[in-house]
Amino acid sequence: MYNFETELKKLKFQVLEKIANLAKENRLNNDEFRKLSYDIIPGKKPLYRCCVYHERAILKERAKIASGYIPNGDYAQELIQPEHDDEIMYIIEAACDRCPINKYTITEVCRGCIQHKCVEVCPVNAITRLNGRAYINQELCKECGRCKDVCPYNAVSEVMRPCKKVCPVDAIAVDSDRTATIDNTKCINCGACMEGCPFGAISDRSYIASVVKGIEKGDKLFAIIAPSIIGQYGAGVSLGQVKAALKKVGFTDIIEAALGADIVTIHEANELIERLENGDKYMTSSCCPAFVSYIREKFPSEISKISHTVSPMIATARFIKKEHSDATVVFIGPCTAKKEEMKMQDAKDVDYVLTFEELTALLSAYDVDVKECEAIKANDASQYGRNFAQSGGLSQAIQNVIEQGDKDVQFEPVKVSGQAEIKKCLTLAKMGKLQGNFIEGMMCEGGCIGGKACILEQRKVKPALNKFSKASNVVDIVSNEKLKEFEGIELDKRNIVKI
């Protein structure tokens, strides 16, 4: 039914689909996890690893994480509900390749030259001559990289674990046997390590089993669907078809997160105006939880500049629960950090978060093909709210609101995505050198369409999203009658929204 860009994505889908089926039949246990590994890897020939036994051991641990259990050797603890769970990202120890951890080493290219600039520049005397060639004492090396910079033969090799290299907050460490570990006091659950590990040794905790159980019990499930879903199942698949597919699975209704994005835009624009009038130099966006967590971890001096406005996910969830107090709200998006945002709520606005990867497995478990579904009407969100899915979308939406208002405000947005751009921008802001008064930050490069739990890469889905966001049914946020239904919903402690 589905095509996968990598074998890892396919493998993850296979596990999630089987977990969803086991949850339907209330058969989540260690015996079934073992059987699952044999179903996916039958016979005696390994598919990816040294042997089938290793592969099956990995699959069993992956199944535990996918089912919502905590991996614990040969046992699985009791299913832990989201509000009691402390971790989102997990290392599958059996899958970790224990990559080489020496960042700088001397290769065979070294000519043993007389000059030996590498020896001269080393600040800790970690480099000596051995058998005529340079040698790095790894116990002394501080990984400054000066030796690599000065070597005329490029004989110094730089190797860093992929997971460690992509982590924006230095939360990846290595234990005594070279297995990767995650420092959860630092981790912002952005999923970069999960995408970066070529062995698939890092995975996010899933709530697919809990959602399936809710479906089977007949709970009143409402889905909030992120606009970045457009294009994930092919350019010709509409949001109305995705909505119809979820209805077939058993959801009561499906609401666009873009509708919440519209009300968030009004609120955030008003908040920015208020802050600038009160003398603040700048404000940052708050819709990307990984970006907010990054500021708290790496730039604590700038925490006060984070917008107080809730994210579109939270705004939409509060709208749903205002109308349906008995609703179970499931957010569906491309982001692992949304699972952390779900846990950090003061009130229980969102009950579960599923990624697009998990949605695909859920649909397959219920034998629903999105492409074959007949589209039903989507919500009346604006093109601006739908464009939140990519970098720059929020800034365009705020610009639209400000232009329609009567405030004389000079809006100067700085749009950044990806850890490199964000780090540079926040460093300038901290130094008082920011060329603007609003930072729109998204941790994934390109925005949510670059989310770590997407099905397809953003270059394949961006044209479809652009076409969708420019739909002409509603183009004016402020005059959108649908947003009046949000009246009375608290979007921050000051509740400054005016429609």
Tens digit of pLDDT for each residue in 258-313? 999 999 999 999 999 999 999 999 999 999 999 999 999 999 999 999 999 999 99
Q: Based on DSSP, count helices (H) and strands (E) in the chain, helices before strands.
A: 18, 17
Q: Any idea which of 15-29, 41-55, 124-138 has the lowest mean pLDDT?
A: 41-55
Asked, for residue 324, whether it belongs to a domain, the answer is yes
Q: How confident is the model at residue 75, as a pLDDT? A: 41
Rg of the chain, C-alpha, whole Å: 25
Q: For 348-362, how does the pLDDT look when each residue is reduced to its tens digit (9 = 90+)?
A: 899 999 999 999 999
**Band of the pLDDT at 84, cuts 50, 70, 90?**
very low
133 and 64 within one domain:
no
Domain count, the chain: 3
Q: Would you state the torsion angle of the CA atoms of residues 298, 141, 159, 296, taken in this order, to the nearest 10 degrees?
A: -10
Residue 85: closest CA among 100, 71, 68: 68
**358 and 408: one domain?**
yes
Do 359 and 415 fall within a single domain?
Answer: yes
- Distance between CA 81 and CA 91 in Å, rounded? 20
Domain shared by 231 and 147, yes or no: no
Pairing outcome for strands 156-158 and 104-106: antiparallel
| Residue corresponding to tokens 């960042």 | 103
Pairwise CA distance, residues 402 & 410, whole Å: 9
Question: Contact 54/46 with Cβ under 8 angstroms?
Answer: yes
Q: Are residues 135 and 69 in the same domain?
A: no
- Examine residue 339 and state whether it is found in any structural domain, yes or no: yes
Confidence of residue 74 (pLDDT cuts 50, 70, 90): very low
Written as six digits, the tokens of 337 are: 């950090």
Only one residue has tokens 């597919």, namely: 245
Element (H, E) at 213: helix 208-217
Indicate the helix (H) or strand (E) that contains 36.
helix 30-40
Is the confidence at residue 498, as pLDDT, over 50? no
Average pLDDT over residues 443-448: 96
Q: Would you say residue 392 lies in a domain? A: yes
Please give the Cα distance from 286 to 207 (Å, whole number). Answer: 24
Name the band, by pLDDT with cuts 50, 70 and 90, for residue 3. Answer: confident
Residue 496: inside a domain: no
- Domain limits for position 125: 104-158
364 within a domain of the structure (yes/no): yes
Model confidence band, residue 471 (pLDDT cutoffs 50, 70, 90): low
Tell me what percent of the chain is helix, strand and coil, each rounded to the nearest 5: 45, 15, 45
Looking only at the bridges linking them, the beta strands covering 221-225 and 328-333 are parallel
Tell me: do 370 and 261 sit in the same domain. Answer: yes
Pair 474, 361 in one domain? yes
* CB count in 10 Å sphere of residue 490: 12
Q: Does the pLDDT of residue 132 top 80, yes or no?
A: yes
The b-or-e profile of 57-85 (16+ CB within 10 A means b, else e) is bbbbbbbbbbbbbbbeeeebeeeeebeeb
- Other C-beta atoms within 10 Å of 37: how many? 23
AA identity, residue 393 = G
Instruction: Tell me which DSSP letter residue 279 carries.
Output: T
Non-local CB neighbours of 305 within 8 Å, separated by 6+ positions: 280, 282, 283, 284, 295, 429, 439
Query: Is the domain of 273 the same as that of 381?
Result: yes
Strands 133-136 and 127-130, sheet pairing: antiparallel
Q: What is the pLDDT of residue 78?
A: 45
Residues 141 and 394: their CA atoms lie apart, in Å, by 44
CA neighbor of 318 nearest in space, from 495, 85, 87, 83: 495
* Residue 172 domain-assigned (yes or no): no
Residue 424 tokens read as 């540079």
Identify the pLDDT of residue 116: 87
Distances (CA, A) of 42 to 16, 35, 46, 360, 422: 18, 10, 9, 23, 46
Task: Tell me if 445 sits within 8 A of 418, measured CB to CB.
Answer: yes
Average pLDDT of 416-442?
A: 97
471 Cβ partners below 8 Å, 6+ apart? Answer: 383, 386
Which pLDDT band holds residue 476 (cuts at 50, 70, 90)?
Answer: low
Which band of pLDDT confidence, cut at 50, 70 and 90, is reported for residue 473?
low
- Residue 139, pLDDT above cutoff 50: yes
Cα–Cα distance list, 453 to 170, 229, 236, 337 (Å): 21, 11, 21, 10
Tokens of 183: 């420092």
Is residue 461 one of the residues assigned to a domain? yes
285 and 139 within one domain: no
Note whether 22 and 115 are same-domain residues.
no
User: Largest Cα–Cα distance of the chain, in whole Å?
Assistant: 79
Q: What is the pLDDT of residue 492?
A: 83
The number of residues in the chain equals 499
Beta carbons within 10 angstroms of residue 219's beta carbon: 18
Give the rounded distance of the alpha carbon of 368 from its chain centre.
25
- The verdict on 116 and 69 lying in the same domain is no
CA 246 – CA 226 distance, rounded (Å): 14
For 224-251, how does the pLDDT look when each residue is reduced to its tens digit (9 = 90+)?
999 999 999 998 899 999 999 999 999 9
Pairing of strands 71-72, 75-76: antiparallel
User: What CA–CA distance (Å, rounded) separates 211 from 205?
Assistant: 13
pLDDT of res. 70: 56
Q: How far apart are CA 420 and CA 345, in angstroms?
A: 28
Report percent pLDDT > 90 for the chain: 69
**Token output for 170:** 């230095």
Assigned domain for 177 exists? no
Residues 373 and 423 in one domain: yes
Min mean pLDDT across 133-137, 161-165, 376-380 is at: 376-380
Within 13 Å of residue 213, how many CA atoms lie on the same side as its CB?
14
Q: What is the mean pLDDT of the chain?
A: 89
pLDDT over 60 at 73, yes or no: no
DSSP 1: -
What is the spatial distance between Cα 485 and Cα 78, in angstroms, rounded to a whole number? 40
Looking at residue 316, its pLDDT comes to 95
CATH number of 336's domain: 3.40.950.10
